[in-house]
Chains A and B, each alone.
Chain A
């Protein structure tokens, strides 16, 4: 990276600068990671209902019983994980493809009504979800009669406005000349999108994939509304079943949360590379 090249002349400055920034980053990281740390150490506690949380920095007991309890609690524990995996994966693929395409169209293709349509998208995003849920529920459950199906869980998540907006903002910074050149060389827009825009937008598409997966993995309210049987619930809905009136199975819930975080880690690290590749426009042009 050549952002700090000017330090190249003075090695000592560079080392000092990097040292300070790493120290700062680490310090801030400790604060940020604390809840995760707490979640993990709590999951190793006993699977007994707790009226009080064990406020302790150091784990006082190490047992995997809570994990066992989580899987034994309901015959559907694994099914919940699979349901979540399915819904989040479909949403991720669909969002990356369709929001990516829409983002490109809104940023680089000139067609009548694009500003107006885009503004409409944004406005809709500004309405709080609480009031949108009821009409949406009426549509999906009463009109389409899709209650308790995978379709009802997936349909509303297929292409988020947030992602379209993100893709549009990112793609608007791509140099227009590249696209013009490709046009002159006879590419149609679809070819431009797959051959030029997608490779150039890898970083943001990867971010979008992670975030969409994350969001759909963690989403609670909608799956909670439209599922009617335990076998259709997602992991987030299932986890809430550990909370009873006035008492909670705290450790198994944390064990479940820890388990449900694992796919995120895997996805994050497997997509990691694509965040990190700097983009070299020249190379693509050739």
Chain B
């Protein structure tokens, strides 16, 4: 506090008070974060330079990282993960945005109805979801998806069992599910736009497209940035879908980095390697995120 006083001479008191409140407001959050997130992350960082053993780890320097460079499977899994992310996150976000904009002008009761419906799948048990998706991708002609493409005269596909369609199947799954959260966040943001903005646009005779372009999209930028960044983080870490649906196969066509990390941590007891892989992954995500912050701009203030 005292240091600040010396540094900032103009409007001394005001600024210092803000500093004080700033730190007060983040105090609890920061304490929880430091203890239960930062500390484990730092531990993981240290472990990444070790051959981890519960009865005493050994320092092996950069060996874990060097091993990754030579590991072809790790390279392939990065490519898979990037492919999956590039095709799933933006498309899902676009679908959520469209749906949110479609729900927004409806009557309140209808809004409630649709929001509930789109959010509900999030509460469904993971087991129910995976059973249903396995049924949808059933390779036999009576499978749901095969029945549907059968109507168009396309012969039945071995969805999850063939390298050509396995990744597509996982993408299809991501496009058709998991919108609940983004939709309600988008709607919350849409509802946060003061009506007066639209009213004044109406006075200027703006069309729907113009309102979309000049009011909604710019005002939803922080929300989009949030959903994009968290979506990409989630997508880069994803392994549950591959784990449940394909086990990473066939022929490693759907092996994600998250799955490798999981296997190293819980299957081979190679905790040091898992930590190194995680940090490489985090570095990749960080670079992409910084890029997004730069392009989409962070602090929107008006």
Please say whether chains A and B are actual partners in one complex.
Answer: yes
User: A-side interface residues toward B, CB under 8 Å?
Assistant: 1-7, 18, 21-22, 24-25, 28-29, 31-36, 38-39, 42, 53, 55, 98-99, 101-102, 104-107, 109-112, 114, 117, 120-136, 138-139, 155-156, 158-159, 161-162, 164-166, 169-170, 172-173, 175-176, 183, 188-190, 193, 200-201, 203-204, 206-207, 210-211, 214, 218, 239, 253-254, 256-257, 260-261, 264-265, 268-269, 272, 275-282
8 Å CB contact of A6 from B25, B207, B261, B262: B207
Contact B125 A257 (CB under 8 A): yes
In the complex, the chain B residue whose C-beta lies closest to that of A144 is B35
- Tell me if B245 is interfacial: C-beta within 8 Å of chain A: no
A201 contacts which chain B residues (CB < 8 A)? 192
Contact A164 B115 (CB under 8 A): no
- Tell me if B39 is interfacial: C-beta within 8 Å of chain A: yes
8 Å CB contact of A38 from B105, B132, B236: B132
In the complex, what distance in Å separates the CA atom of A21 from the CA atom of B208?
15
8 Å CB contact of B261 from A29, A53, A131, A239: A131
Contact B261 A278 (CB under 8 A): no
In the complex, the chain B residue whose C-beta lies closest to that of A162 is B230
CB-CB under 8 A for A139 and B184, given A111-B19, A254-B128 = no
CB-CB under 8 A for A268 and B124, given A2-B202, A124-B37, A189-B17 = no
A39 contacts which chain B residues (CB < 8 A)? 124-125, 128
8 Å CB contact of B226 from A22, A155, A165: A165
B62-75 CB mask vs A (1 if < 8 Å, else 0) is 00000000000000
Q: Is the interface of B mostly helix, strand, loop or mixed?
A: helix
In the complex, what distance in Å separates the CA atom of A114 from the CA atom of B22?
8
Which of A39, A127, A188, A277 has the most chain B CB atoms closer than 10 A to its own CB?
A: A127
In the complex, the chain A residue whose C-beta lies closest to that of B23 is A111
8 Å CB contact of B40 from A1, A98, A136: A136
- Smallest Cβ distance from B202 to chain A, in angstroms? 5
CB-CB under 8 A for A3 and B301, given A35-B132, A117-B30, A275-B115 = no
